[in-house]
Structure 1
């Protein structure tokens, strides 16, 4: 009996009638559908397709007017996809029906050029060719509001009611008072196979921070994307709303999506970052990896801070770096070296915002690090103390853009990225970010009305 036949038999024996399928678009938004068990069996055997508009529209379902891969000029054919059976989860709040991630592929079965999950798989193939095994851990900050999708729109997203009040970072008071919700959420995350290794109140009203337990790079990116989507649905079922916007108020720090990274020898399993007698135990490989991220963070910023809102977080003194800096146990730098043994030695990428697509973030940081190893790059000196006060002294190539337009242009100017990601993804991603900029520029904001309506 083949793997497919065995899976279908198992599900039929369980009297499963429906399964749910999903993928992420370029913005990290999960899209998918229910299919019958009969259709599921057909897809496993023969593949299937979604209208390829799902790869050619933005998070508001508006078609990009500037992309080549899909559009009215193509007639919107099906984009073929396949199901990854290894991603099976059972949805506890849907009678335990099976859930699977899918990824797009080409007609000959190859990896799709602009599918975010396929992009990460190509990056990891390169790592494997270097005999490197990559492990990651994502951690997210997010606001919870005592609101519903209806009430936020009625209020025009103004004067929203926070789930809890006041600044209670790491507070046991809030965690004790809301213990039932914490425990429900922790259990739900475990059931969904993105179990957390830490959960606490962060500074700000109704802010939580969750650390997902580390895993291999692809599994972790899967878990991170699912964590964001299913956390939002979990809280909506409690008549609450969670947001992963990079910043939803200038009164509070922004919401990050930090990534902890460690490399291992794929043959022996030994840490490639740890060297017993080196300063801070930082191996030469780790130095090259850090140097690669320093060099390429500027052109890759748009993949890690992909929205207009992302850049409201990247402000000096607001717990988010504004230059490609690094330091040892220094939370004011973009790259923070952590660890004092082979198991814990890692680098934390502190630049990413909570609104970014985890597949793209992982692709960006791993690619940058691998380029550093290939090119035997050397990092700058580690910064000690307040990095914000030292950033202006750094060379221009380490200074990061302060808005999405400039970040997208930095991406476009880096020809090396066409070799890393492929020409199709390179052009497509740049076009999507410039679309996002133009959509923003078409709006008349409340600030503009208040500023100019009467006095100008």
Structure 2
């Protein structure tokens, strides 16, 4: 990370000639413009940078339309304002002579755009702040690496691609030897960009890799997540490779994005640790606040799944037998549950295992906080922890099985309307329906194989 003063020195010395100003879109992608370094320092820092309103009302193909809380066409495709958050300013090692800064989306009058992902998270953080609480989070993001370039993958219609490793290399040291050069570069350049790495390893699916970065305050973690995801794509492109973060690429293991989260008081003392109940061993070391927080996750899990599994493909990962959660349950160190309680003492936290690699980090973390606040505000009791096989249990509510089911639950949820506001609920429901409409209009390979000759 760098300060504005350091950037000014770099621009004057010719070490930085452009600054990318970006805003996270509904998919969590960084969208924006490259600005001349002098223009950024002299003008953009004072007045912000205009960008088309449709950036926050599009699907993955950048198609927009009615139904969003913001109708871009009715607004004449006018501008909103990108206001740089200088705390996110950094040099990009993989992009020569370039710095990047994340921005907050604001209306021309300076008020925040409520459904902008960064603002959706800020709103939940403000609700915590009203209680004297802070959220700290970490994300564990997986990706699949291929030896094909992105262009080759596109020309092959994303079929028949060659994974960068050939076997399940979960925790393997020798098994990732062939991809060490590129993942070493990713690790090194992410550190140079201000991310502090904790661990990295191969994963279950051939070509799958996971990097875990040090936890931070929730907003910083989500900003770093978005920068990391963008940077990985740029680095592997330069290396003649390709990568996907989609939740489920094929019949093998999907890409997950587990979210770890804990709360602290403003003085830094932990909120989750302490207390417990002598007649409830599963609550050992857990404060009453943590018990309510976890209970809130269970109460809102189905209603808020949309914010953590936002695409049609997301639900291919959340399927029986896929080593991803399907039942509404919590457990102590139980990876079969969507809510896993791990750590002890100051490190006691929840691991939310629903989000996939395609999740928008801002909305995924916002959903965890909003659900936890729902539990705290209503002092919800926490049911006993599930011990053993959560995949095979049949006596518990299930996560939504499809995007259509998830959006219906989201729209009808009183907790969603109370926690996020009806405009935000409507906006993200519209985004989900745009995804569903696009999928419904597509003739898939499966349909051709099934019906070309035989129907």
Alignment TM-score > 0.5, same fold? yes
2:120 is matched with which residue? 119
Alpha carbons of structure 1 residues 242 and 296: separation in structure 2 relative to 1, 3 Å? same
1:402 is matched with which residue? 401
Query: Any idea what SS the aligned residue of 2:86 has?
Result: strand
2:386 is matched with which residue? 383
Q: Deviation of residue 96 (structure 1)?
A: 4.1
1:354 equivalent to 2:357? Answer: yes
Alpha carbons of structure 1 residues 314 and 277: separation in structure 2 relative to 1, 3 Å? closer
Residue-by-residue CA offset, 1:196-244 (whole Å, 9 max, x unaligned)? 2111010121110111210011000101111111111111111111110
Separation in 2 of the partners of 1:277 and 1:321? 26
1:209 equivalent to 2:210? Answer: yes
Q: Deviation of residue 109 (structure 1)?
A: 2.1
1:305 is matched with which residue? 309
Separation in 2 of the partners of 1:303 and 1:277? 31
The answer on whether the counterparts of 1:58 and 1:64 sit within 8 Å (CA) in structure 2 is no
2:343 is matched with which residue? 339
Residue-by-residue CA offset, 1:10-51 (whole Å, 9 max, x unaligned)? 344333432111111101121111111233121111223101
1:371 is matched with which residue? 374
Q: Deviation of residue 9 (structure 1)?
A: 4.3
Aligned residues: 446
The answer on whether the counterparts of 1:64 and 1:432 sit within 8 Å (CA) in structure 2 is no
Residue-by-residue CA offset, 1:384-443 (whole Å, 9 max, x unaligned)? 0001222x212xxx4221000110010000133223222222111111101100110001
Separation in 2 of the partners of 1:298 and 1:37? 46
Normalised TM-score (structure 1) = 0.94
Q: Deviation of residue 285 (structure 1)?
A: 0.9
The answer on whether the counterparts of 2:165 and 2:179 sit within 8 Å (CA) in structure 1 is no
The answer on whether the counterparts of 1:244 and 1:354 sit within 8 Å (CA) in structure 2 is yes
Q: Deviation of residue 273 (structure 1)?
A: 0.8
1:291 is matched with which residue? 295
Separation in 2 of the partners of 1:359 and 1:373? 21
Separation in 1 of the partners of 2:373 and 2:48? 33
Normalised TM-score (structure 2) = 0.94
Q: Deviation of residue 177 (structure 1)?
A: 4.4
Alpha carbons of structure 1 residues 199 and 414: separation in structure 2 relative to 1, 3 Å? same
Separation in 1 of the partners of 2:53 and 2:110? 16
Residue-by-residue CA offset, 1:32-89 (whole Å, 9 max, x unaligned)? 1111123312111122310112122211111234324123222111011200111011
Residue-by-residue CA offset, 1:82-108 (whole Å, 9 max, x unaligned)? 001110110113334221011101233
Query: Any idea what SS the aligned residue of 1:209 has?
Result: strand
Separation in 1 of the partners of 2:69 and 2:352? 32
The answer on whether the counterparts of 2:69 and 2:424 sit within 8 Å (CA) in structure 1 is no
Separation in 1 of the partners of 2:178 and 2:443? 42
The answer on whether the counterparts of 1:144 and 1:241 sit within 8 Å (CA) in structure 2 is yes
RMSD: 1.7
The answer on whether the counterparts of 1:291 and 1:378 sit within 8 Å (CA) in structure 2 is yes
Q: Deviation of residue 179 (structure 1)?
A: 3.2
Separation in 1 of the partners of 2:158 and 2:179? 25
The answer on whether the counterparts of 2:94 and 2:234 sit within 8 Å (CA) in structure 1 is no
- 5+ unaligned residues in a row in structure 1: which ranges? none
Query: Any idea what SS the aligned residue of 1:73 has?
Result: coil
Separation in 2 of the partners of 1:48 and 1:89? 18
Residue-by-residue CA offset, 1:279-329 (whole Å, 9 max, x unaligned)? 431111111000001111111101100000000001123221112210001
Q: Deviation of residue 276 (structure 1)?
A: 5.8
Query: Any idea what SS the aligned residue of 1:318 has?
Result: coil
The answer on whether the counterparts of 1:144 and 1:163 sit within 8 Å (CA) in structure 2 is yes
2:261 is matched with which residue? 261
1:281 maps to which of 261, 275, 285:
285
2:318 is matched with which residue? 314
Separation in 2 of the partners of 1:213 and 1:188? 15
1:241 is matched with which residue? 242
1:418 is matched with which residue? 417
2:331 is matched with which residue? 327
